[in-house]
């Protein structure tokens, strides 16, 4: 007889599961909003489904919190595993409401695209979907975005000086500050969308999708709204740019430290990217403003599209390849955006410069310093971490693109789609659709989670589970 047993101490597992409890219960409470929307629009079955989904979240979270007693404060390892576990559970349970319109795998895909702020969708016509489901699909990226920013801040220990507290306590403190700021942006965006001429439901849905860089449409496509309403397009652009910015930088600016904007490495890197994007859009064969908007959709990783999928699929190869590279870079660290992040790209570029200086005959000594909120002197270990992350990211992108192209899709489209999934963007050339082969749906679900957990987070959980289990043979 063979049994699978965990080698790790039970206390480790208690800490990991305990810290997921409050987060899952918070997610469960938020399902009340689409339930209310369903009641308002007389979608009574939908309301019951959301109440059931909320009960699953809250019930599981309560079990983890109340039934697992462990007073020990967890380490960084426990925190990483707890956060990765929350993502998996949140995505799995978040797919329950989509079972009303999708088969199980498509429902899971829809939920993964929502919580990871990717914005891919398998809905063929959002106008025929119940309002409660549309609101849930818009709320998911906001929940996932806030949770992502909160969790990376908690793990980095750069936001809260009291680093001796456990993950639960740090998350509680940080989440309140993050929610206040994004809540302020959400309200401002809602009012601006209303002033631009949208309905109340559209204003709420697009505000949630924009500030979270989720890029999900609540009325068919942003193009259906945006091409006839330039003001709404501008509002969405403003909110997605804010969502893709380092939240610590935003706090600095709100505190009156405007000088940080002038010397911040990510801002300077972002300005160079915008300049490159403007030039690329000018040389592209399509409409300049449409191409420029899609550049910002790629850079902020919002994935909003203001043309139909066939039109984007028919874009010239040069601009499609350029957008692929921009999607891989993504937005800022400590933001809802995905991708490698501008900060890491700046570090990679500067490290090459430092290396070239080291090869000069006089071997000029240069301080490996970079400014991002504060001055950082980068050690060899810091650089290795950036190199490792970038290496894993590009390896995952290459492998995914090759797999997609093996299914007969054009190579450039395949790598475009893989970059969009891995960087949590949501721009698509049409490969992502209900007719997509099921193995590719599973691949993109994995890519979206891999990108949102920043590659190493998901791999840590996988290696932990597989590494801490062994086959134990009892008897014959």
Q: Is the pLDDT score of 273 beyond 80?
A: yes
The answer to whether 211 and 243 have CB atoms below 8 angstroms apart is yes
pLDDT tens string 151-161: 888 877 555 54
Q: Percent of the chain having pLDDT more than 90?
A: 58
Reference 55, options 88, 21, 31, 90; nearest CA is 31
Q: Given this model, what pLDDT does residue 476 score?
A: 32
Confidence tier at 91 by pLDDT (50, 70, 90): very high
Q: Is the pLDDT score of 54 beyond 90?
A: yes
Q: Given this model, what pLDDT does residue 244 score?
A: 95
pLDDT tens string 418-445: 999 999 999 999 899 999 999 999 999 9
pLDDT tens string 283-323: 888 889 888 999 999 999 998 887 766 567 667 788 999 99
Q: Report, as an integer, the average pLDDT of 369-388.
A: 86
Name the pTM for this structure: 0.89
Q: How far apart are CA 441 and CA 439, in angstroms?
A: 5
Q: Given this model, what pLDDT does residue 223 score?
A: 45
Convert the chain into a string of H (helix), E (strand) and C (coil): CEEEEECCCHHHHHHHHHHHHHHHHHHHHHCHHHHHHHHHCCCHHHHHHHHHHHHHHHHHHHHHHHCCCCCCCCCHHHHHHHHHHHHHHHHHHHCCHHHHCCCHHHHHHHHHHHHCCCCCCCCCCHHHCCHHHHHHHHHHHHHHHHHHHHHHHHHHCCCCCCCCCCHHHHHHHHHHHHHHHHHHHHHHHHHHHHHHCCCHHHHHHHHHHHHCCCCCCCCCCHHHHHCCCHHHHHHHHHHHHHHCCCHHHHHHHHCCCCHHHHHCHHHHHHHHHHHHHHHHHHHCCCCHHHHHHHHHHHHCCCCCCCCCHHHHHCCCHHHHHHHHHHHHHCCCCCCCCCCCCHHHHHHHHHHHHHHHHHCCCCCCCCCCEEEECEEEECCHHHHHHHHHHHHHHHHHHHHHHHHHHHCCCCHHHHHHHHHHHHCCCCCCCCCCCCCCCHHHHHHHHHHHHHHHCCCHHHHHHHHHHHHCEEEEECCC
Q: Which sequence spans correspond to the domains of the chain?
A: 2-337+422-467
b/e per residue, 138-170, with b = 16+ CB within 10 A?
bbbbbbbbbbbbbbbbbbeeebbeeeeebbbeb
């Amino acid at each position: 007889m063979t049994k699978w047993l965990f080698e790790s101490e039970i206390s480790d597992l208690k800490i990991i599961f305990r810290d997921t409890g409050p987060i899952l219960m918070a997610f469960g409470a938020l399902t009340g909003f689409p339930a209310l929307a369903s009641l308002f629009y007389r979608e009574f079955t939908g309301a019951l489904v959301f109440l059931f989904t909320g009960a699953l979240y809250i019930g599981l979270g309560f079990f983890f919190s109340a039934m697992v007693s462990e007073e020990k404060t967890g380490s960084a390892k426990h925190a990483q595993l707890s956060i990765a576990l929350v993502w998996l559970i949140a995505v799995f349970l978040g797919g329950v409401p989509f079972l009303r319109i999708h088969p199980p795998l498509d429902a899971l895909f829809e939920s993964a695209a929502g919580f990871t702020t990717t914005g891919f969708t398998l809905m063929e016509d959002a106008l025929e979907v119940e309002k409660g489901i549309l609101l849930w699909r818009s709320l998911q990226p906001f929940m996932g975005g806030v949770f992502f920013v909160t969790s990376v801040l908690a793990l980095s220990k750069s936001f809260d000086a009291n680093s001796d507290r456990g993950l639960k306590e740090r998350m509680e403190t940080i989440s309140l500050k993050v929610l206040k700021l994004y809540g302020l942006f959400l309200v401002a965006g809602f009012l601006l969308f209303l002033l631009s001429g949208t309905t109340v439901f559209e204003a709420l849905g697009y505000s949630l999708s924009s500030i979270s860089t989720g890029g999900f449409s609540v009325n068919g496509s942003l193009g259906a709204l945006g091409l006839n309403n330039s003001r709404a397009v501008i509002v969405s652009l403003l909110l997605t740019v804010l969502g893709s910015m380092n939240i610590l930088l935003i706090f600095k600016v709100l505190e009156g430290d405007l000088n940080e904007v002038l010397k911040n490495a990510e801002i300077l890197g972002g300005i160079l990217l915008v300049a490159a994007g403007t030039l690329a859009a000018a040389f592209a064969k399509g409409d300049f403003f449409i191409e420029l908007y899609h550049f910002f959709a790629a850079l902020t990783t919002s994935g909003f599209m203001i043309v139909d999928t066939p039109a984007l699929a028919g874009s010239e190869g040069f601009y499609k390849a350029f957008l692929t590279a921009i999607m891989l870079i993504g937005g800022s660290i400590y933001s809802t955006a995905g991708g490698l992040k501008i900060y890491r790209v700046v570090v990679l570029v500067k490290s090459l410069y430092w290396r070239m200086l080291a090869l000069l005959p006089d071997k000029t000594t240069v301080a490996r310093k970079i400014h991002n909120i504060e001055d950082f002197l980068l050690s060899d270990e810091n650089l290795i971490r950036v190199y490792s992350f970038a290496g894993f990211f590009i390896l995952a992108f290459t492998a995914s693109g090759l797999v997609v192209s093996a299914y007969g899709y054009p190579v450039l489209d395949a790598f475009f789609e893989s970059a969009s999934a891995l960087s949590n963007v949501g721009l698509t050339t049409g490969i992502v659709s209900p007719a997509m082969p099921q193995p590719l749906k599973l691949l993109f679900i994995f890519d979206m989670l891999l990108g949102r957990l920043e590659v190493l987070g998901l791999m840590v959980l996988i290696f932990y589970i597989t590494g801490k289990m062994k086959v134990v043979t009892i008897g014959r």
